[in-house]
Amino acid sequence: MNFQDLSVQARAVLKDLAFRTPMVRWAAHRWQYNFSPAQLGFLCSCLDRTRDVPGPVFEVGCFAGVTSVFLNKHMSAEGIEKPYYAFDTFGGFVEADVAFESDRRGKQRSQLLGFTDNRKE
């Protein structure tokens, strides 16, 4: 057995171990988007349909920028050249907004919390 084989085996063992622990979070691919595939497709089609509309794109509430990167990749791939600005309070939703979304729009409060561990930097 040469070193390369050992290295491949060692990596396989480490990966196998990781899959049996909470480290699976880092070892396996996971869906990081807050949108379904169909919703992301809809957003892409919005960018396509408005490609000739002058002015920048605004994403209000970008959190960690996962969708921002996805949509920017789509714009680059399709040759859509316009500025893309991502906004966020970096403090999560204020209580009044959480109350509105849960009371008036039937969303789970738990879906609206937990966006505070991100910073502009």
93 binds ligand SAM (CB under 6 A): yes
Among 44, 57, 67, 71, binds ligand SAM (CB under 6 A): 67
**CB of residue 6 to ligand SAM, shortest distance in Å:** 40
CB 101 within 8 A of CB 107: yes
Least CB distance from residue 93 to ligand SAM, whole Å? Answer: 5
Compute the least distance from the CB of residue 22 to ligand SAM, in Å.
22
* Nearest in space to 86 (alpha carbons), one of 101, 67, 113, 73: 67
Identify the burial level of 40 via C-beta atoms within 10 angstroms of its C-beta, where 0-12 means exposed, 13-18 middle and 19 or more buried.
Answer: middle
Q: Nearest-CA neighbor of 50 among 20, 81, 27, 88?
A: 81
Residue nearest to ligand SAM (CB): 61
- Which residues inside 18-47 make contact with ligand SAM, applying CB under 6 A? 33-35
Q: Which residue has the tokens 């039937």?
A: 106
Q: Interface with ligand SAM by CB under 6 A: which residues?
A: 33-35, 60-63, 66-67, 87-89, 91-93, 97, 115
